[in-house]
Amino acid sequence: MGIARALGGDGWSQVTHIGGASGGYWFGSQMVYSQSFYDKVLDASLPVEDLLTDWGEGYAQAQLDAVAAGDGTGRLPAQS
């Protein structure tokens, strides 16, 4: 995240491709598809620890909501 912050908004506007594996892919997909995450990463006044804690809490809540709605059972749909 330090590199992402160092690039700043101007640097990211020049990025045309992003790739990664495992944690790098997670980070890249959040930067590309989550405007909120992108904005927080580039906000140098926000400690990285707070950014990750907030993201983790939101992710955990989304998982709990999916399970409560029956969407997180881990079972595949019946095939016909």
Rounded to two decimals, what is the model's pTM? Answer: 0.70
Q: Where are the domains of the chain?
A: 2-68
Half-sphere exposure at residue 2, Cβ-oriented, CA atoms within 13 angstroms: 0
pLDDT digits (tens, 9 = 90+) for 43-66: 989 998 999 899 899 889 988 888
Question: Of 12-16, 57-61, 69-73, where does mean pLDDT reach its minimum?
Answer: 69-73
Place of tokens 């399970």: 67
Assigned token pair, 21: 């594996």
pLDDT of residue 49: 92
pLDDT of amino acid 24: 78
